[in-house]
């Protein structure tokens, strides 16, 4: 009788472990969403850019959108949420960016690792994506020196970096853009 109980417990533990591994795998390997829109459709000038994550040498891809003003107020780095890409389909990201460009801001929109057009095979839900954001900051510092603002959706690492490194915090309300 004891061996039946022990066998049952072992089967339950094995099943729970298998489910946990499957869920973890799916969270770390979400399906990529294609970058199927362009700033050009919104009448925006842009430049395709590539830069490395600060750690691991992962190539990240994005767009730099210059301000309509000769001197931009600052450069805003836009970071998307989990399992998304720079278009942030759940929000009107390109419409928001169009408004910001018109208001005099430069923008860098990029794809985190394992997202959009960037390299990488695993999403870490913030652990390595923080290094991707630091790579974006490095690119801006090298190519567009000046003040940097961070505007992010979901994953939330940008707010932690805002406090830690003294970047300008950007606030976004969906109602303001609709």
SS3 98: helix
The larger pLDDT score, comparing residue 23 to residue 9, is at 9
Q: Residue 176 — pLDDT band, cuts 50, 70, 90?
A: very low
Q: E strand or H helix at 43, and its extent? A: none
Q: What is the pLDDT of residue 78?
A: 92
SS3 33: coil
Backbone angles phi, psi at 169, to 5 degrees: -85, 130
Q: What is the largest CA-CA distance in the chain?
A: 82
Which tokens go with 94? Answer: 């390109």
In this prediction, residue 178 carries a pLDDT of: 30
Asked if residues 83 and 31 have their Cβ atoms less than 8 Å apart, the reply is yes
Q: Is the pLDDT of residue 175 over 50?
A: no
Give dist(CA 131, CA 121) in Å, integer.
Answer: 15
**Is 64's pLDDT higher than 60?**
yes
* Distance separating alpha carbons of residues 40 and 157, to the nearest angstrom: 29
The CB density around residue 134, as the number of other CB atoms within 10 Å, is: 16
Question: Rounded CA gap, 78 and 92, in Å?
Answer: 13
Is the pLDDT at 54 greater than 60, yes or no? yes
Q: Is there a contact between 44 and 117 (Cβ–Cβ < 8 Å)?
A: no
CATH architecture of 39-177: 3-Layer(aba) Sandwich (3.40)
65 has a pLDDT exceeding 80? yes
Domain range annotation of the chain: 1-30, 39-177
Check whether 119 has a pLDDT greater than 90.
Answer: yes
Averaged pLDDT of the chain? 85
Handedness of CA 177, 105, 160, 131 (dihedral sign): positive
- Hey, what's the torsion of the CAs at 100, 102, 106, 109, to 10 degrees? 50
pTM of the full predicted structure? Answer: 0.82
**Beta-bridge mates of residue 123:** none
Distance of CA 165 to the CA centre of its chain: 18
């Amino acid at each position: 009788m004891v061996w039946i109980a022990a066998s049952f417990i072992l089967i339950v533990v094995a099943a729970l472990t298998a489910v946990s591994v499957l869920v973890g795998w799916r969270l770390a390997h979400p399906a990529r969403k294609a970058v199927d829109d362009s700033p050009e459709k919104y009448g925006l000038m842009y430049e395709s850019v590539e830069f490395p994550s600060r750690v691991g040498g992962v190539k990240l891809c994005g767009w730099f959108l210059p301000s309509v003003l000769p001197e931009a107020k600052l450069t805003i780095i836009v970071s998307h949420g989990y399992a998304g890409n720079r278009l942030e389909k759940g929000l009107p990201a390109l419409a928001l960016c169009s408004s910001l460009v018109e208001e005099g801001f430069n923008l860098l929109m990029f794809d985190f690792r394992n997202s959009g057009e960037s390299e990488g095979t695993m999403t870490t839900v913030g652990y390595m994506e923080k290094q991707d954001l630091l790579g974006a900051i490095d690119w801006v510092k090298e190519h567009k020196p000046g003040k940097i603002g961070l505007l992010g959706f979901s994953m939330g690492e940008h707010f932690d970096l805002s406090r830690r490194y003294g970047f300008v915090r950007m606030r976004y309300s969906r109602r303001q853009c609709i």
